[in-house]
């Protein structure tokens, strides 16, 4: 949720400002770009050098640097930020924000904010419960600012109660939850298959294909970024998925069939991008087959068509997307699969397209929906192709 987000962190004068160092580390680790503005009082509790080192950006404390002659534009800072987080937010700064007072760079940036402002108060128990503070908190919330509530615990004064700034891990969790609420696929469950299947001949040999799984993994990652809870059923591959994606590792077509049917009923969106073997050996030799003769004949039997089985089970409101890798009569074959397998749309790619398809990092696809509308795309990275596919999914989910 925080990857590539521009976060302007305001740090106020509070003993809790020591937590800002850990908070910055967590934000950067989550992939965010962090710039820090400190009030003059905050520099008495933690050094700008510490926060600059952790954020990998200069820390700002004033409008103007007399040594370098550099002017720090509060307007540009407000425009740069995807969100502003003030943590810790002192009683003094909260009061100024509520009143529109603008006597330092942080307050000027706050008044220039174009996106959501989050604030995590930190103060002593009596200050937190004072009617003036509570009135200021209510006023800030009425402006659209979002409160990250303080925690209950031991305070710097020795009292115990509310007023402790929320722990950095809890702030990260809060931000992630708030950002996820705004994503188009939040609350939706997605099922994605990826990679090849290996059909055993004997304990050491198999029938397989050249699928790397890159396309399916890219789709799973993009669906997760759009807010969906994603289950990824993966054939043998060396790829890694996000920790937020539930991964089920399988080897054979039969194993993928079981995993797909077990998880399909709960899925709002199913994308079957795996390259499942069409045939498997009729019998699997219990021991390694010896090279005793000049030829070897292996009887093959068809595997179960997983996509067709899911199409039969599909309920109203479920989206089912298939892939078609063709070498001839590409569009006609893809359209036949849409009808036969009850698909909402199919992603067609051809082995005739140079630099597209198996193993590589690029793909060239055509999306055909059940109304036979066709969208043609140029050669793109598989990450970009995944984005195009997911845009189609979001549009269909919004229409439903």
* 297 classed as catalytic: no
Beta bridge partners of 375: 367
Nearest to 348 by CA among 321, 383, 371, 323: 323
CA atoms within 13 A on the CB side of 112: 17
Q: What is the CATH number of domain 6-181?
A: 3.40.50.1950
For the segment 150-164, the average pLDDT, to the nearest whole number, is 84
The per-residue pLDDT for range 167-194, each reduced to its tens digit, is 999 999 999 989 988 899 999 999 999 9
Residue 102 CA to residue 80 CA, distance in Å, equals 19
Checking if the pLDDT of 13 tops 90, the result is yes
The whole-number pLDDT of residue 352 equals 66
Instruction: Answer for the pair 250, 235: CB distance below 8 angstroms, yes or no.
Output: yes
For the chain, what are the domain ranges? 6-181, 189-283+299-399
Q: Which two tokens stand for residue 250?
A: 């399988």
Q: What is the pTM of this model?
A: 0.76
pLDDT bucket at 98, cuts 50 / 70 / 90 = very high
The whole-number pLDDT of residue 180 equals 87
Helix ranges restricted to H, the chain? 18-29, 48-55, 74-80, 91-99, 105-111, 125-129, 131-142, 168-181, 214-225, 253-264, 306-313, 330-341, 382-399
Instruction: Answer for the pair 51, 59: CB distance below 8 angstroms, yes or no.
Output: yes
The whole-number pLDDT of residue 311 equals 97
Q: Which two tokens stand for residue 266?
A: 């709960």
Residue 278 CA to residue 192 CA, distance in Å, equals 19
Mean pLDDT of the chain: 92
The whole-number pLDDT of residue 358 equals 65
The CATH superfamily holding the domain 189-283+299-399 is CoaB-like (3.40.50.10300)
Nearest to 231 by CA among 197, 256, 254, 212: 256
Choose, from 6, 57, 115, 209, the residue flagged as catalytic: 209
For residue 160, the tally of other CB atoms under 10 A from its CB is 12
Residue 263 CA to residue 256 CA, distance in Å, equals 11
Matching CATH topology for 6-181 and 189-283+299-399?
yes
């Amino acid at each position: 949720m925080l990857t590539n987000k521009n976060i302007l962190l305001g740090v106020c004068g509070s003993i809790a400002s020591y937590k800002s160092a850990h908070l910055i580390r967590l934000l950067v680790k989550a992939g965010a770009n962090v710039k820090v503005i400190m009030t003059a009082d905050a520099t008495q509790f933690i050094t700008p050098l510490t926060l600059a080192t952790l954020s990998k950006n200069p820390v700002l404390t004033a409008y103007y640097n007399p040594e370098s002659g550099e002017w720090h534009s509060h307007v540009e800072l407000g425009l740069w930020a995807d969100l502003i987080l003030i943590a810790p937010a002192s009683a003094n700064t909260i009061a100024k924000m509520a009143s529109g007072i603008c006597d330092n760079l942080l307050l000027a940036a706050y008044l220039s904010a174009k996106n959501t402002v989050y604030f995590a108060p930190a103060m002593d128990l009596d200050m937190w419960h004072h009617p003036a503070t509570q009135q200021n908190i209510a006023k800030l919330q009425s402006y659209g600012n979002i409160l990250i509530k303080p925690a209950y615990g031991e305070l710097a004064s020795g009292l115990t109660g509310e007023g402790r700034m929320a722990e950095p891990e809890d702030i990260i969790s809060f931000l992630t939850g708030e950002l996820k609420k705004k994503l188009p696929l939040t609350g939706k469950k997605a099922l994605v298959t990826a990679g090849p299947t290996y059909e055993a001949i004997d304990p050491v040999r198999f029938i397989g294909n050249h699928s790397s799984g890159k396309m399916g993994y890219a789709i799973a990652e993009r669906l997760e970024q759009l807010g969906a809870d994603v289950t990824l059923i993966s054939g043998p591959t060396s790829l890694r998925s996000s920790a937020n994606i539930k991964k089920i590792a399988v080897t054979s077509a039969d194993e993928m069939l079981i995993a797909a049917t077990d998880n399909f009923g709960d899925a709002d969106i199913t994308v079957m991008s795996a390259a499942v073997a069409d045939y498997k050996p009729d019998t699997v030799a219990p021991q390694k087959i010896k090279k005793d003769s000049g030829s070897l004949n292996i009887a093959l039997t068809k595997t179960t068509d997983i996509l067709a089985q899911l199409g039969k089970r599909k309920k109203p409101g479920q989206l089912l997307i298939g892939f078609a890798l063709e070498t001839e009569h590409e569009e006609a074959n893809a359209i036949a699969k849409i009808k036969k397998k009850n698909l909402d749309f199919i992603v067609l790619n051809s082995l005739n397209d140079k630099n597209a398809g198996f193993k590589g990092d690029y793909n060239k696809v055509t999306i055909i929906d059940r109304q036979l509308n066709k969208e043609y795309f140029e050669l793109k990275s598989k990450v970009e192709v995944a984005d195009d596919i997911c845009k189609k999914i979001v549009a269909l989910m919004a229409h439903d």
